[in-house]
Amino acid sequence: MSLNNVSVVMAPSIFIFKGLRSKVTEQQELSMATDTANIVRLLIRYQNLLWTIPKFILNQVRQQNMVNQRKLYKERAVLKLLKKIAIDRPVDKTIPEESAQGLIRVQAPQFSKISMVIQLTEDLQAADVLTRFLSQDSSVSVKKDDLCLYESGGNIKERCLDGETYMKDLFQLNPAAEWVIKTAQR
């Protein structure tokens, strides 16, 4: 099959004519078919030239890619430096006065009593803290079983403490924690 034959066969598939057949004469249709066949023939003949990317465009793309890589590297270096600065910076872990004296502040934002200070002793347990809270705030109509003392912050996100948890020992493990009374999530 010659180049002309291939172009005549391929032209209708590449260049689809969507005109009304009644308005186009047979002579015009034949002229359009030969024109599209010539275009396909030229595309096939000069395919090496058509689909070759010029060197100046390749160089431009390479330069742009190198600039983007440098920017990305600089951003990573800056982020790495900032992380290092943040790690090297001494953390100001000041212990509040209450904590230094063996006191903890228990908060109860859901109830009318916002917070209360409790003295830590060797045998103070989480259940005792709840009992003291309920005995001091008579407006709370919740049962002790429905409440839980939560340890949040410090070296832990948040957890509900078991009633037998010794508060002084836990405070020594996590002195920066906050103590919050909430309804138990069961």
Q: 81: left (phi > 0), else alpha (psi -120 to 50), else beta?
A: alpha
Q: Are residues 106 and 122 in the same domain?
A: yes
Q: Are residues 117 and 151 in the same domain?
A: yes
Look at residues 88, 109, 144 and tell me which one is the last residue of a structural domain: 88
Q: Are residues 36 and 59 in the same domain?
A: no
pLDDT computed for residue 15 by the predictor: 83
Q: Are residues 37 and 57 in the same domain?
A: no
Q: Are residues 22 and 62 in the same domain?
A: no
Total tally of structural domains belonging to the chain = 3
pLDDT computed for residue 38 by the predictor: 94
pLDDT computed for residue 35 by the predictor: 92
Structural domain harbouring 25: 3-49
For the segment 22-67, what is each residue's pLDDT rounded down to a tens digit?
677 888 888 888 999 999 999 999 988 888 888 888 889 888 988 8
For the segment 74-85, what is each residue's pLDDT rounded down to a tens digit?
888 888 877 777
The predicted model scores a pTM of 0.46
* Confidence check: pLDDT of 73 > 80: yes
pLDDT computed for residue 74 by the predictor: 85
